[in-house]
Amino acid sequence: MSSTRHVVIIGNGIAGVTCARQLRKLDDAVRISVISGESKYFFSRTALMYVFMGHMKFEHTQPYENWFWEKNRIELKEAWVRSIDFSAKTLHFKSGDNMSYDELVIATGSKPNKFGWPGEDLQGVQGLYSKQDLEMMYENTRAVQRAVIVGGGLIGIEMAEMLAYKKIPVTFLVRESGFWRNVLPKEESELVGRHILEHHIDLRLNEELDEILADPNGRVQAVRTKSGEVIQCQFVGLTAGVSPSIDFLRNTELEVSRGVKVDFGFKTNIPDVFAIGDCAEFHEAPAADRKQVEQVWYTGRMHGESLGFILAGHEVTYQPGIWFNSAKFLDIEYQTYGTVPTRWDKGKITSFYWEDDGGKVAFRMLMDREGRILGINNLGFRLRHEFFDQAIREKWDGAKVISKLDKANFDPEFFAPYYIEIQKMFKNQFGGEFKVSKKTFIQKIFGARV
């Protein structure tokens, strides 16, 4: 391909950088520029909390050494895009500079949601998504006596842990009946909710923000809830989800809705313009259990890889694969594979749920009428991604999954009792031809004679 061809990627998150890397692997001649006003280099967003807590420095969040970009000839432009002239194929930056492109990739990510709450723009009120948000949080939490977090999602629990680590009392407002109840089934939600309370976080369920109140200097001094309670605080974290960061693209010829509208080749309505990652919105969901906007780290990576192939001239259509996500609720790890909705039709779907007596470890498997696995939730210990990806793709029956659960153990030396207890409970409820043998397991792992 011509050496004069210039691909410009706006955004250096996981989607944009993966696209740049994949394209470079496949095309040695193309010129690649990545635009980022947020940070000089790509970094892991999930690590922001550990930087705040002092467990690592910001430079430690970079997945690649600084020389990687020069070696792979991926140019970085540190700038914010003000506007795009699509007809002239030109970016206009806030600094006054311009840049032309042959093909443009929009990978601008997300921004924290705001819902028009009175006082949402006061000093001391913020979300947590970008490097700038992290820096603002350092400033906003100095000399804070109490904090309030609005919204019970993954960013909310991260922010709660960050503040609690700094010994700042936290009140957590969650409008649902349980933590992350719009994603988790009742039992898993209750497990996490108990864990949050055990960490001395003031979790308020069925409670919503009504107004953020200001002191005479324009800084937050309290919140008022829908129930009328006034909670004194000097910091408010807005973590009620995120939305595509595309404000500068609205009122242009580019087709947008929640995000930039794309097909399964990530093409927009404008020739040579593509969108990937959190800011992209498919015209229709890519699978029955998927949404039109996919705002998960691993889907952003898949978007980037797929578009890298497409830009290199390969005929590729986005294939989302089996749904997967992972997170951490304080010190409880969470994994989900396949389809596990918050509620299901008990006439069509069977649920198997096991919870450890300690109340911090749980395993759920949903099965269809024929007993075939639909999805898994796992909390408190790790299981292997590839195992469940295969089981769901090949439509294993539940008994087969449970009988082979020892092969799914990520840390078998430490978590053997869990898989054995899960097998026992499943066999008691549903039967099965497999054996439950702790002796065999110990021999396999330790080579011991028992």
The answer to whether the beta carbons of residues 73 and 32 sit under 8 Å apart is yes
Domain 6-111+243-311 has CATH 3.50.50.60: yes
Fold identical between 6-111+243-311 and 125-240? yes
According to DSSP, residue 56 is labeled S
Burial class (CB in 10 A: 0-12, 13-18, 19+), 356: middle
* Residue whose C-alpha is closest to residue 63's, from 254, 297, 245, 342: 297
Can you give the pLDDT at residue 412? 60
DSSP conformation letters of 348-417: T-EEEEEE-TTSS-EEEEEE-TT-BEEEEEEESS-B-HHHHHHHHHTT-BHHHHHHTHHHHBSSHHHHHH
Strand 147-150 relative to strand 242-244, pairing: unpaired
Question: Which contacts qualify for 367-374: CB closer than 8 Å, 24 or more apart?
Answer: 367/397, 367/398, 370/397, 371/397, 371/398, 371/399, 371/430, 372/396, 372/397, 372/398, 373/338, 373/397, 373/398, 373/401, 374/338, 374/339, 374/340, 374/349
In DSSP terms, which residues pair with 378 in a beta bridge? 335, 363
- HSE-up of residue 203 (Cα within 13 Å, Cβ side): 24
CA distance 254 to 237: 32
Can you give the pLDDT at residue 67? 82
Identify residue 136 by its one-letter amino acid code: M
CA distance 43 to 366: 35
The answer to whether the beta carbons of residues 188 and 332 sit under 8 Å apart is no
Q: Residues 6 or more apart from 259 whose CB is under 8 A from it? A: 244, 246, 275, 278, 279, 280, 281, 292, 293
Can you give the pLDDT at residue 274? 98
The answer to whether the beta carbons of residues 277 and 304 sit under 8 Å apart is yes
* Residue whose C-alpha is closest to residue 171's, from 133, 197, 192: 197
Residue owning tokens 């649920």? 351
Identify residue 126 by its one-letter amino acid code: Q
Q: What is the pLDDT along the chain (450 residues), one digit of tens a residue?
A: 445 799 999 999 999 999 999 999 999 999 999 999 888 777 777 888 989 999 888 888 877 777 888 889 999 999 999 999 999 999 999 999 999 999 999 999 999 999 999 999 999 999 998 889 999 999 999 989 999 999 988 999 999 999 999 999 999 999 999 999 999 999 999 999 999 999 999 999 999 999 999 999 999 999 999 999 999 999 999 999 899 999 999 999 999 999 999 999 999 999 999 999 999 999 999 988 899 999 999 999 999 999 999 999 999 999 999 999 999 999 999 999 999 999 999 999 999 999 999 999 999 999 999 999 999 999 998 899 999 999 999 999 999 999 999 889 877 665 567 888 999 999 999 877 777 654 444 444 334 333
Distances (CA, A) of 240 to 114, 149, 209, 223, 326: 8, 9, 11, 15, 19
* Residue 138 host element (H or E): helix 131-140
* Residue whose C-alpha is closest to residue 176's, from 236, 244, 118, 240: 240
The answer to whether the beta carbons of residues 90 and 99 sit under 8 Å apart is yes
* Residue 140 host element (H or E): helix 131-140
Burial class (CB in 10 A: 0-12, 13-18, 19+), 37: middle
CATH C-level class of 324-446 = alpha beta
Residue owning tokens 């097909």? 263
Can you give the pLDDT at residue 442? 40
If phi over 0 gives left and psi between -120 and 50 gives alpha, with beta otherwise, what is residue 415? Answer: alpha
* Residue 35 host element (H or E): strand 31-35
* Residue whose C-alpha is closest to residue 106's, from 274, 248, 271: 274
Provide the greatest CA pair distance for the chain. Answer: 75
CA distance 371 to 306: 34
CATH number assigned to the domain covering 125-240: 3.50.50.60
Strand 350-355 relative to strand 362-367, pairing: antiparallel
Q: Domain residue spans in the chain?
A: 6-111+243-311, 125-240, 324-446
Question: For the chain, how big is the Rg over CA atoms in Å?
Answer: 24
Q: pTM for this one? A: 0.88
- HSE-up of residue 204 (Cα within 13 Å, Cβ side): 17
Q: b or e along 126-136 (b: 16 or more beta carbons within 10 Å of the residue's beta carbon)?
A: bbbbbbebbeb
